[in-house]
Each structure stands twice: as structure tokens, then as C-alpha cells.
Amino acid sequence: MNDVLYLVVPCYNEEAVLYETSKRLSAVMEQLTKAGKISSKSRVMFVNDGSKDKTWEIIEALHKQDPVFCGVCLSRNRGHQNALLAGLMTAKEYADIVISLDADLQDDVNAIEKMVDAYHSGYEIVYGVRSCRKKDTFFKKATAKGFYKFMKLLGVDIVFNHADYRLMSKAALDVLAQFEEVNLFLRGIIPLIGFQSTTVTYERDKRFAGESKYPVSKMLAFAFDGITSFSIKPIRMITCLGFLIFLVSLIALIVFVILKYTGFTIGGWTSTVASIWMIGGIQLLCLGVIGEYIGKIYSETKKRPRYIISKIILDKED
Ligand code: UDP
Ligand code: MG
């Protein structure tokens, strides 16, 4: 089969892992080419997301050593999702199939062949799904589970235990290119594309070198982005909450008036102050959530580029 496969690997300060990653990925590419499952024009495309270390120099050196490696350099750090999109959109110009995976080899490279096989049996999108989270910390496990459950509750269709390890055909990528949103949450967008899709399970390993580029603050921001980019239910919940509180206060008013005229007035300072604070808090919270959505509208209307490529190194032919 002559399908050209591109592996897209976003890299941010990954000098500690790149040599090992490139070795393992080129071995997989060689094996797949030998087995006749992909064309020899297939490539491993590293996307340098404005790294401050030697990541880009290493990518250039790898490309010189072996043309199977190519690189896309972003003009500055734009975050994982934007870097991934830059890679996918560049790769789709040359490839029939694209698989995205992390630079730290947490995504088991043996699943690549399974994904390619699934593609050959007719699937346009293949999601890599973790079989277990044994190697994750308790905190990551608990927050991940809570996040998936919450997203489901809000009616957002995301694949459980799937991160950004997935295969997409050129047809699916062409559709992805039509999604113009600036607040990127690819895990939520891809299921909207539709097409025949399936999953492949793999065991997610520990990052083998270097540090995670997703500290808790970034993780929380990402989860919040995911929720507010895909569901307007929080806004509706605020409306319902507001209505409920309004009803309660109406009933309370009636009760107070009755109490006043029957002579049972109780001077409750604590309850008064407590309710002022509570209502003030709820109002601030609601304003904040509404503000989040307005902020999103603001950044979407500006239509700024989601990534800027400063350089591409790529030999298309063998
Ligand atoms: N990454 C990126 N830009 C960023 C942060 C991360 O391209 O601003 C890449 C990183 O190099 C890695 C992938 O995104 O290939 C996932 O990041 P990481 O492994 O640090 O996240 P974790 O697995 O800890 O959630
Ligand atoms: Mg990782």
C-alpha cells in the first residue's frame, strides 16, 4: 500500500527526549515501510513550539542525518493544542494519514501499527485510548475522571481516556481545517467531524526524561477551556440558579411580611449578613462565568492566527 503516513510530534523544551524519541519512531516507520503498510515517503514531523532549549537545533540535526525527520518551527510558544494544529495542517498537504503523539513517548509507539491497520480496514479517525492509568499520580487520575464525567454531564461528546494520540485521514483533516475557532480543544472538536471512527487501546507510560510541560495551573486552564468552548450549559445553569434564588426570596418576603404583622419579628443579624454575603458571592460567580464566555467571543471575533510558522524543513521525496 502506498499511503503516506506523517507522525506529528509537538515539542516544547524536549531536548532530553528527542534523540530517543526519534530513534524509536524511525524504527517504527522502517518496520511499517518494510511490511508494505506505508509509503517510503512517510515522515516524522516535529513541531517546535517556541522551545527555549536546543530542541530546534536537534530537529535540524536529525533532519540532516535522515530525511525521514522533518520539522516545523513556530515563531513562539503557542501551547500544545496550537502546535499540534500547526503540525496537522502542514502534514495534511503531503500525507494520506497523520498520527499525532507526544514527544515524551508516553503514548506507546506500538499502537501506531494498530492504528494504521484500522485505517486500512476503512476507518478515517482512530482514537488512541489508554487501557489503564496505573502509572498516573492519584491527583491526575482523580481529576481526569472527574473532568470526563463533568463533560459528559454537560453533553460534550469526548472519547473517555483519550488524549491527543490519534490517527486522522486526509479527508478528516480537511474537515478539521474548516473549524476556525481560536480556543482550541481538539479532543472536543474531532468527534464533531464524524466519519467512520474506532479506538485502539494502549498502555500509557511514564515520561521517560524531562519534565511535564503541563503543570496543574495549565491543566486546570485547559479543562476550563474545554468546558466553556463546548458547552453553554453553565450559562443556563446560572439562569436557573438566579431564578431559583429569586423564587426563594419571594417566598421569604411573604413569610417575613406575615411574621411582621403577627408580631413575631426576630432581629437576626447573623442571618441577614450571611445572606448578603451568599447572594453577593453567587452573583460574582455568575458574572465570572458569563465573563468567561464574553472573553471567548472577544478572542474569536478577532480571528487572530492560531499559529505562525517561521520555518519548515522537509524533503518530500525519498
Ligand atoms: N507541548 C507543546 N507546547 C507546550 C506544552 C507542551 O508542544 O506549550 C508538548 C510537549 O512537548 C509534549 C506534549 O505537548 O510533546 C505533551 O506535554 P507533556 O508531556 O508535558 O504533558 P503531560 O503528558 O504531562 O500531560
Ligand atoms: Mg507527557
- Count of C-beta atoms within a 10 Å radius of residue 46: 31
Report CA(76)–ligand 1 centroid distance (Å).
15
State the sign of the Cα–Cα–Cα–Cα dihedral 15, 17, 18, 20.
positive
- Tens digit of pLDDT per residue, the chain (318 long)? 689 999 999 999 999 999 999 999 999 999 999 999 999 999 999 999 999 999 999 999 999 999 999 999 999 999 999 999 999 999 999 999 999 999 998 889 999 999 999 999 999 999 999 887 777 778 878 888 888 888 888 888 888 889 899 999 999 999 999 998 888 889 988 998 989 999 999 988 777 888 888 777 888 888 888 888 877 778 778 878 887 887 887 787 787 778 777 876 666 766 676 677 778 778 878 887 888 888 788 778 877 888 988 889 988 766
Whether the pTM exceeds 0.85: the reply is: no
Exposure b/e, 71-108, CB count within 10 A at least 16 = b:
bbbbeebbbbbbbbbbbbbbbbebbbbbbbbbbbbbbb
Q: Relative to the alpha carbon of 21, which ligand is closest?
A: 1
Distance between CA atoms of residues 123 and 112, nearest Å = 14
What pLDDT is recorded for position 149? 87
Pair 12, 51: CB distance under 8 Å? yes
Task: Please report, for the chain, the start and end positions of each structural domain, with discontinuous segments joined by +.
Answer: 5-212+304-313, 233-302
Probe residue for ligand 1, chosen from 9, 11, 12 as the CB with the greatest number of ligand atoms within 8 Å: 12
Instruction: Tell which CATH architecture fits domain 5-212+304-313.
Output: Alpha-Beta Complex (3.90)
Distance between CA atoms of residues 125 and 127, nearest Å = 7
Distances in Å between the alpha carbon of 77 and those of 80, 218, 306, 314? Answer: 9, 14, 11, 21
What pLDDT is recorded for position 87? 97
Grid cell of 120 as nine digits: 486500512
Instruction: Name 196's Cβ contacts closer than 8 Å, sequence gap at least 6.
Output: 122, 123, 124, 125
CA nearest 6: which of 97, 72, 89? 97
In which region does residue 113 sit, left (phi positive, over 0), alpha (psi from -120 to 50) or beta (all else)? alpha
Number of the ligand 1 atom closest to the C-alpha atom of 101: 15
Ligand 1 neighbours, Cβ below 6 Å, are: 10-12, 14, 49, 77, 79-80, 83, 102-104, 106, 207, 212-214
CA nearest 193: which of 172, 177, 164, 178? 172
